[in-house]
Amino acid sequence: MRVVVTGAAGFIGANIVKGLNARGIDDIIVVDDLSQGDKFRNFADLKIADYVDLDDFYPNFEEGHYGQVEAVFHEGACSDTMEQDGKYMMDNNYTLSCELFQSCQAQGTRLLYASSAATYGNSETFREVPEFEAPLNVYGYSKLLFDQRMRRELGNNFERAKTQVAGFRYFNVYGPREQHKGRMASVAFHQFNQFRTEGKVKLFGEYGGYARGEQKRDFVFIDDVVAVNLWFFDHPDKSGVFNLGSGRAQPFNDVALSVLNTLRGLKGDAPMSLAEAAHGGMIDYIPFPDALRGKYQCFTQADLSKLRAAGCDHTFADVQTGVAHYVKWLARQA
């Protein structure tokens, strides 16, 4: 069984390759742009059949150069929510995805692709229907436009797809193999490094009606993201756009405290309460940056009704469990 993973040197793509390998699948063509050379580390320990540069892959795939491909996990995208070059964003996240979709449908190849919770913007409801979709930046718009294109081509629930098409609106994903992402890496990753170098972690202060560190996000562990992708891989009759989060909103304070207490535990120190950590200066609340005002989601929480209705009953890790696992992994790499 041949599989393609685009964005395979990236965070989610590399973990999907790892998940496929765990099932004994290694006839995998990985697609990416290795201009940032150190990203090779994300799949250096994995088993693949071939690497293809993204500039070569799309036209070659359209012409059938790779034989029969069962499925494409399309994770390749510009995921920098601060990117202001709209043409670059749309070329990468919309136009290429449209071309890939047409090629997959023509060749009978299933398409499982990355959408984003950024499609919802400041909505207070996170359900996969148009009335709650209002992106705050061109990244979110590029993802939403492709979802809308799929609805137009395939019907609201993708019921007209010749072969499976499933899009996943990722919420705040964290976990191993994200070290190359720089400022776009998860809060847990940055806080791990902050605590090791400065002895404290940084969080935003009051903003949007929320007390310091109390803005809430749906933080989802990478192993859960992979598990849901593979569940759909196992169920080729399931198509549509689905939220992929934990279904649980937790404050940034929970992430910070989980990072601190996991690191303390590794040294044999007792866990601290949030009040103790803040009073002791281990959590540094900084003013909310002007550049993010009006462009920041203070609350996200995936509505999992559609995912559950499809039959996926995967149990998601909470922040305390997932972050502890991740911090221990980071510590082993340090």
DSSP per-residue string spanning 140-168: HHHHHHHHHHHHHHH-TT-TT-SS-EEEE
Residue 78, pLDDT above cutoff 80: no
Give 249's DSSP letter: -
The residue type found at 41 is R
Residue 80, pLDDT above cutoff 80: no
What's the rounded Cα separation, in Å, for the pair 290 and 288?
A: 7
Q: How far is CA 148 from CA 17, 220, 307, in A?
A: 28, 24, 19
Strand partners, 50: 29
Q: For the segment 274-290, what is each residue's pLDDT rounded down to a tens digit?
A: 999 999 999 999 999 99
What is the three-class DSSP state of 236? Answer: coil
The secondary structure element, H or E, covering residue 283 is strand 283-286
Under 8 Å between Cβ of 266 and 331: yes
What's the rounded Cα separation, in Å, for the pair 252 and 255?
A: 5
Active site residues: 139, 181
pLDDT range class, residue 293, cuts 50, 70, 90: confident
Residue 295, pLDDT above cutoff 80: no
What is the three-class DSSP state of 28? Answer: strand
Share the mean pLDDT of the chain. Answer: 95
pTM of the model: 0.96
Closest CA to 121 of 145, 140, 149: 140
Under 8 Å between Cβ of 75 and 8: yes
Residue 222, pLDDT above cutoff 90: yes
Per-residue model confidence (pLDDT) at position 178: 95
Q: For the segment 96-125, what is each residue's pLDDT rounded down to a tens digit?
A: 999 999 999 999 999 999 999 999 998 999
